[in-house]
Amino acid sequence: MSPRTILLSEDDTVLIQVGPRGPQAANENIPQSIESFLTTQFRNYFAAHEGRLPPDGLYERVLARFEKPLIAETLKATGGNQLRAAAVLGINRNTLRKKMRALSIDPHTGDAA
């Protein structure tokens, strides 16, 4: 059974609901499943605009929505170890710290400050 996804859009706000997953979900190739998931979401997002284009600035809006939970969850997974989190993310520690400040992520817990 594959994941079922519903995309709802009002203006530039996107709400995503993911339905039940089958038992093979634990064996999926994570990077591919993320790419496939996002591709489906973007196709649905553009289709929801019914032939019109979304407002300008989509790239920055998507990055902002994606980056904060990615960094926060990576910090949590590394127990707050910023050096390890930066390595997992493929960025240097100074860049991580700058992004944490910009995104208001608590350096100790990974939660939004």
Q: Pull the structure tokens for residue 93.
A: 């520690």
Write the pLDDT tens digit of every residue in 18-58: 555 544 444 455 666 888 988 999 999 999 999 899 999 99
**Backbone torsions φ then ψ of 7, nearest 5 degrees:** -115, 125
List all residues 6 or more positions away from 9 whose beta carbon is below 8 Å from its beta carbon. Answer: 15, 45, 48, 49
Tell me, yes or no, if the pTM score tops 0.85.
no
Beta strands in the chain (DSSP E): 5-10, 13-18
Residue 108 pLDDT level (bands cut at 50, 70, 90): confident
**Backbone torsions φ then ψ of 88, nearest 5 degrees:** -60, -40
List all residues 6 or more positions away from 46 whose beta carbon is below 8 Å from its beta carbon. Answer: 53, 54
